[in-house]
Amino acid sequence: MRGQGPTEEWREEFPYPWDEDEIMTRRDMLRFLVAGTGALFLATSALAIIGNLPSGPNVKAVPIAKPGELGENQWKVFDFPDQYAQGILINLPNKGLVAYSNVCTHLSCAVVYQGDGRLHCPCHDGLFDAATGNVLAGPPTRPLPVIQIAISNGTIYAVKEVPR
């Protein structure tokens, strides 16, 4: 039995007929592993790319207030885009109506308008400029997202959040 490979010895010891008898060579195993790894890489890459594509949720315009409802330096908190998130509408003396997300960009605490042109986050003393939403002081590093507003048929609507 010299010169016979392990396949022949196996067949002699276990003489059962099997149509699918094939041995996978190292080269075949390497091809299988490379193809499997490549397929796994492509699948995870595709999922990462799809996950990072901008989604286009159909956010409906939310009515906030009537144009004359807020006096100068007054503000109102409203649900946007649903009851799980809020925005803040402010009537600034020199700028008029502005709206921002009511969630601090540091640790998601609610911000409060102070009446002096600043929004205050009481959790860690973050301050934002009410006219621009930019950070003035404290630990937040990003400005507040702007909520685009529109006036239609005598009502102020929150239209969409504009990330910055």
144 has a pLDDT exceeding 70: yes
What's the token pair of residue 161? 């959040």
Taking CA 78 as the corner, what is the angle to CA 91 and CA 124, rounded to the nearest 5 degrees? 80
Render pLDDT for 7-65 as a digit per residue (tens, 0 to 9): 567 667 777 776 666 777 899 999 999 999 999 999 998 888 887 766 555 668 889 99
Q: What is the pLDDT of residue 84?
A: 82
β-bridge pairing 155-162 and 118-121: unpaired
Q: What is the pLDDT of residue 25?
A: 86
Taking CA 58 as the corner, what is the angle to CA 55 and CA 64, rounded to the nearest 5 degrees? 125
Q: Which residues contact 11 (CB under 8 A, 6 or more apart)?
A: 21
124 has a pLDDT exceeding 70: yes
Q: Which pTM was predicted?
A: 0.63
